[in-house]
Amino acid sequence: MSSIDAAEAPLKSSATPPPEYKSSMGLVVDVALRVLLFGTGLVAIIVMVASKQTKMIPVAPGIAVPLDAKFSHSPAFIYLVAALSVACLYSIITGVLSVLAFVRGGTSTKLQFHFVMFDALLLGIVAAATGAAGGVAYVGLKGNSHTRWNKICNTYGSFCFHFAASILLSLVSSITLLLLVWLSLYMLSKKIARR
């Protein structure tokens, strides 16, 4: 009976508890992705804002009128510029926080949780803006014969090239935000598993 009691007694170990999860590689990737987000967002904004083109459009035989095509004529393009501007500002703030966390030796669970929440929120905003601008761009490229919306990319080629490049860079920004959400969730799960 005494041997059974001795076997059921909890074993005491002199081992120290596992250290706090500190992944410097995860923080380096986090900072790199935030710099990529800033770069792609800023270039997409610059390309979109610089996408003005003026063409002489004939309205009658011998009469041509200059017409502008610029991003501010479409609410979807304005929304894209606004969403990317917020993403650029956000990437600066969170990039600085990530660098400070790297210098300190690791992020807190609370900070990592906030990164997950705000990265996911911003992913939704940037992806929605990219989709809206992509829809308008598609109508500009192909037109819509059912609603009699004419295509404009055959007339405003430079303008269309600019906003297509901007939408592509915005898509890269969306993918970068998705990777940031996944990375933050992974780092957060590693911290929680170590507790």
Over the stretch 53-79, which tens digit does the pLDDT of each residue have? Answer: 888 888 888 888 888 888 888 899 999
Is residue 9 included in any domain, yes or no?
A: no
Q: Which one, of 79, 73, 72, lies nearest residue 127 by Cα?
A: 79
**If 0-12 CB within 10 Å is exposed, 13-18 middle and 19+ buried, where does residue 114 land?**
middle
Structural domain count of the chain: 1
Q: Per the domain annotation, does 20 fall within a domain? A: no
Q: Residue 19's pLDDT is what?
A: 42
Domain carrying residue 173: 25-193
With respect to residue 16, please indicate whether it lies within any of the assigned structural domains. no
96-125 average pLDDT score: 89
Q: Percentage helix, strand, coil, to 5, in the chain?
A: 70, 10, 20
Residue 20 has a pLDDT of 45
Per-residue pLDDT at 9 exceeds 60: no
Closest C-alpha to 97, from 184, 1, 186: 184
pTM equals 0.81
The verdict on residue 5 lying in a domain is no
> Does the residue 164 lie in any domain?
yes
Q: Residue holding tokens 């035989």?
A: 61
Residue 19 lies in a domain: no
175 assigned to some structural domain: yes
Q: Where are the beta strands (DSSP E) in 14-52?
A: none
In a domain, 8, yes or no: no
**What's the average model confidence in pLDDT over 137-154?**
86
Identify the residue whose tokens are 């929120």: 121
What's residue 18's pLDDT?
A: 43
